[in-house]
Chains A and B, each alone.
Chain A
């Protein structure tokens, strides 16, 4: 990445970043976002993350991107996992243990039905 030297370049980079996101969403990609702030990690987000990655590997899932994010302010509900299917709404899950993460991957990511028990009422 060459250094950005003008507002136009900055604008172009921003558009590109937005575009990348849109293309992925339009293709029906699933985004799994694990909150990996200290609060999340303390509550076991690393294991949750591992479980998500394991599931993707063992089931050979493609079109699923796993990213991380910070704390959303509900530390008590950590580990928090967010799932966005394509251009659909963002579903936020709380207290996602390894087992719950597997269930979410199976039911929501693979079959498209949100797991109602763990959705945060926010």
Chain B
């Protein structure tokens, strides 16, 4: 066994390879031969050392010196300096400095945190943490220094609108509930967050439950309610547990219960756990479910503010709406209204997902553009690909394209553009997404979640799904697009609740902006984004395939054959188009055709 005095590790991750890592390996070895060091120093290939974006990268042991960004021509100099003379070459030396964050403030550029101000900062299970950051100050102020009318006026002036997606002014809703002469009245918090890929409310409930509770108590004082329900889905066990702990602690401190702050106002609340039906996010279905009935919507009017839970006046707001309230009361309506656009004030949380560099939860001021959200806050499109579309408003929303990117975001602007604000899901798609497939995905969701009470939604969504499936399978025929269009119109016109009325939106908007993709599927039997499995085939390319056998070994159905160092071949009949071979191939030798 040979002993080496030093080891040089070269990163051969795809990005470094693309930047010529293999050339560096050869150059190092050649130079070590020239300098007579080849028996003392070993060159090894390894995976990721640093960021790769500064590649090629090498690591020299035992010193642990990290070099990056050199070219083949620099190698003789590097070898001479480092390995002969023992001097570190500062020019390529990468010094990793620990990045220490002073204040955990906005994590990304352009974020403004009002709703999420405490999330990840405080211990949600300890009310003292919330009190230390001015918790329940707003409640004290409202109860002891303001009349219910003043509270409503403050909320109205702030311009806060329903964050569940419809955007009904919160102050106006409170005033409506207050006007009704009936008792008791109820406060309801809609925490039935069901959009695929949306988890803004969950985060608030898990990270800062007291802000929601405080908002609800203030709302109860303003509307004259004495009992509250948080309707949360069973899929959020952590949120339910955190909420229950928080409610118990609030009771212990006297923020819930009889005679809060020594006034004659009393309020208590509980969590109602739903089974996770999407339709229960619709307010009438939600209230039915709270009462133990089937979660099905009913026609409005009467609106919940007149007849809601237990047929009594009920005020229903979303988690995010409530958690805005304490800040509005403490800092004032003017402060809140200073952010946003003419018609939409304050901030909005979004769950950004899909093909972006930094997915996650963000809170941005209203009036920001989609371009800023996608490219500044979320870091742009992954792997340098091209932006194609963004789905806003969840499965009831629509997709927006390049020309919409500079819209100043507010409720009206999104509706005008053919989508909606929704609760805040944002799914970003790049050129590798097939829009027919996306529409099929959302329709699969709404079809499964349709409660079945009214025919247009129950039968119509299924018919649309069948047509889309047919098109994706390459069996689309002339007239299918027209049938889709007709169905979309009828379903949105005739459905009972928002779920059915909004269900065709993804199809309508993709048809509007990407009709040619539908046509390619139907008339040319081609999937332009190369996604739909029935319409694509994989082929190994002769000049690039090295016959390394990686694809053969990884193919789950043994569809790839070929001798070592010979061109490999994929049997189209056996191939299930899973794409694993493309992922594992180190030489990008497998192309997808459609």
The interface of chain A, by Cβ under 8 A from chain B, is 1-7, 10, 13-14, 16-18, 20-21, 33, 35-39, 41, 67-76, 80, 82, 89-92, 114-117, 119-122
Contacts of B119 in A (CB 8 A): 69-73
Extra A-B contacts (12), CB below 8 Å, given A71-B206, A73-B360:
A7-B261, A37-B206, A69-B120, A69-B207, A70-B120, A70-B207, A71-B207, A73-B107, A73-B116, A74-B107, A89-B101, A90-B103
Contact of A38 among B124, B236, B255, B262 (CB under 8 A): B236
Contact of B99 with A by CB under 8 A:
yes
**17 A-B pairs in the complex with CB atoms less than 8 angstroms apart:** A4-B253, A4-B261, A5-B261, A7-B140, A7-B141, A7-B144, A10-B136, A13-B253, A17-B128, A18-B132, A38-B236, A41-B238, A69-B207, A76-B359, A89-B101, A120-B101, A122-B107
Q: Tell me if B253 and A3 are in contact (CB < 8 A).
A: yes
- B128 CB to nearest A CB, Å: 4
Complex: A21 Cα to B135 Cα, angstroms: 16
Q: Tell me if B199 and A4 are in contact (CB < 8 A).
A: no
Contacts of A89 in B (CB 8 A): 100-102
Contacts of A80 in B (CB 8 A): 120
Complex: A68 Cα to B491 Cα, angstroms: 47
In chain B, what residue has the closest Cβ to A8? Answer: B140
Contacts of A75 in B (CB 8 A): 199, 359-361
Contacts of A14 in B (CB 8 A): 131-132, 134-135, 137
Most B-side CB within 10 Å, residue of A70, A80, A117 = A70
Contacts of B36 in A (CB 8 A): none
Q: Tell me if B360 and A74 are in contact (CB < 8 A).
A: yes
Q: Tell me if A119 and B238 are in contact (CB < 8 A).
A: no
Contact of B254 among A5, A36, A90 (CB under 8 A): A5
Q: Tell me if B252 and A1 are in contact (CB < 8 A).
A: yes
Contact of B558 with A by CB under 8 A:
no
Contact of B125 with A by CB under 8 A:
yes
* Known contacts A67-B126, A69-B122, A71-B207; A114 and B98 CB within 8 A of each other: yes
* Known contacts A70-B203, A72-B104; A38 and B129 CB within 8 A of each other: no
Contact of B270 with A by CB under 8 A:
no
* Known contacts A4-B261, A119-B99; A38 and B131 CB within 8 A of each other: no
Complex: A21 Cα to B123 Cα, angstroms: 12
Contact of A72 among B120, B129, B358 (CB under 8 A): B120
Q: Tell me if A91 and B100 are in contact (CB < 8 A).
A: yes
Contact of B128 among A3, A20, A120 (CB under 8 A): A20
Q: Tell me if A10 and B123 are in contact (CB < 8 A).
A: no
The interface of chain B, by Cβ under 8 A from chain A, is 96-104, 107-108, 116, 119-126, 128-129, 131-132, 134-137, 140-141, 144, 199, 202-203, 206-208, 236, 238-239, 252-255, 257, 261-262, 358-363
In chain A, what residue has the closest Cβ to B236? Answer: A38
Complex: A6 Cα to B119 Cα, angstroms: 27
- B373 CB to nearest A CB, Å: 13
Complex: A41 Cα to B101 Cα, angstroms: 24
Complex: A1 Cα to B257 Cα, angstroms: 14
Contacts of A10 in B (CB 8 A): 131, 136-137, 140
Complex: A7 Cα to B208 Cα, angstroms: 22
Complex: A36 Cα to B120 Cα, angstroms: 9
Q: Tell me if B125 and A73 are in contact (CB < 8 A).
A: no
Contact of A17 among B129, B207, B239 (CB under 8 A): B129
- B138 CB to nearest A CB, Å: 11
Q: Tell me if B100 and A119 are in contact (CB < 8 A).
A: yes
Complex: A1 Cα to B141 Cα, angstroms: 21
In chain B, what residue has the closest Cβ to A73? Answer: B361
- B495 CB to nearest A CB, Å: 32
Complex: A117 Cα to B362 Cα, angstroms: 25
Most A-side CB within 10 Å, residue of B99, B103, B208, B257 = B99
In chain A, what residue has the closest Cβ to B260? Answer: A3
Contacts of B257 in A (CB 8 A): 3
Complex: A72 Cα to B106 Cα, angstroms: 10
Contacts of B238 in A (CB 8 A): 36-38, 41
Contact of B125 among A1, A2, A68 (CB under 8 A): A68
In chain A, what residue has the closest Cβ to B141? Answer: A7
- A86 CB to nearest B CB, Å: 14
Complex: A92 Cα to B132 Cα, angstroms: 21
Contacts of A1 in B (CB 8 A): 252-253
Q: Tell me if B123 and A2 are in contact (CB < 8 A).
A: no
Contacts of A41 in B (CB 8 A): 238
Q: Tell me if B120 and A116 are in contact (CB < 8 A).
A: no
Contacts of B363 in A (CB 8 A): 73
* Known contacts A37-B202, A38-B239, A67-B126; A17 and B262 CB within 8 A of each other: no
- A102 CB to nearest B CB, Å: 18
Q: Tell me if B104 and A37 are in contact (CB < 8 A).
A: no
Complex: A82 Cα to B363 Cα, angstroms: 21
In chain A, what residue has the closest Cβ to B249? Answer: A1
Q: Tell me if A37 and B207 are in contact (CB < 8 A).
A: yes
Complex: A36 Cα to B119 Cα, angstroms: 11
Q: Tell me if B262 and A6 are in contact (CB < 8 A).
A: yes
Contacts of A71 in B (CB 8 A): 119-120, 203, 206-207, 361
Complex: A84 Cα to B98 Cα, angstroms: 15
- A53 CB to nearest B CB, Å: 16
In chain B, what residue has the closest Cβ to A20? Answer: B128
